[in-house]
Amino acid sequence: MRLTILSLLCWGATACFAGALPPSRSDIGTTMVLPRGEMQTGIRMSAGAHLASATLNEKQDYDVGVGYVYERVEESGRDITQKMSAPPGGPRTSYGAYISAAKILSNNLRENHRTWLGVRAEFLNTADIDGGDSVSLLARGTWEIFGAGEGGGGFSDPCGGGAGYAYGTSAIGLYLEAGARRSLENEASFAATAGLSVRLPSLIGFVYNLCGD
């Protein structure tokens, strides 16, 4: 019935937008990669669907997730094994997918913060000139402030309206991950990232405009 009403509103509206977001975790951080002893630094971003963002259970003690990774690094031009500098190289861009699993180490329900320890595997696509595709295995620690809940709301006026609903867990925190990376050409390197992590619950909503201005 609700879907029928929404369809009729959108059919008669000048503009209508509807969307949904799965329970997610997004990260952004500063990264360091050490291939062949040459330090590369840059930025990493990732976003994916995560089980611990989908529940109202604040005692949830494990998480699994799958998502997308983007990385852009630039060579510093410094060889840390030989303690000498060289002209900096250009940027290297990688992107791909990750899967992860984590377990709660501590959970303070009174103050709503918790600590996770987990592992993460990544499959990155990189141009052959920059080393080719690679696989990473990382250990990860996260501390976050969190809260679980559900609720919805809406608005309306003579020209239109909208509504939204959220279900799950929201959180904001800090993370540190580090581990090994190996390219398909069998080149090994060390990688580490530190940054900000944000959880969002399941979200769904729509807005419509009947007036056209």
What H or E segment, with its residue span, contains residue 8?
Answer: helix 2-12
Domain, as residue range, for 124: 27-149+169-204
Rg of the chain's alpha carbons, rounded to an integer? 22
Least confident of 15-24, 76-85, 138-147, 151-160: 76-85
Residue 35 lies in a domain: yes
How far is residue 84's CA from residue 77's CA, in Å, rounded to a whole number?
A: 9
Mean pLDDT confidence for 47-67: 97
Residue 123 lies in a domain: yes
How far is residue 85's CA from residue 35's CA, in Å, rounded to a whole number?
A: 15
pLDDT at 6: 45
For position 142, which CATH number holds? 2.40.160.20
Q: With beta carbons less than 8 A apart as the criterion, state whether 157 and 147 touch.
A: no
Q: Is the pLDDT of residue 4 over 70?
A: no
Mean pLDDT confidence for 35-51: 90
Number of domains observed in the structure of the chain: 1
Least confident of 81-85, 101-105, 145-149, 200-204: 81-85
pLDDT at 87: 40
Q: With beta carbons less than 8 A apart as the criterion, state whether 79 and 86 touch.
A: yes
How far is residue 116's CA from residue 109's CA, in Å, rounded to a whole number?
A: 14
Higher pLDDT, 7 or 172: 172
Which residues lie closer than 8 Å to 161 by C-beta, 6 or more apart? 154, 155, 207, 208
Residue 21 lies in a domain: no
pLDDT at 89: 56
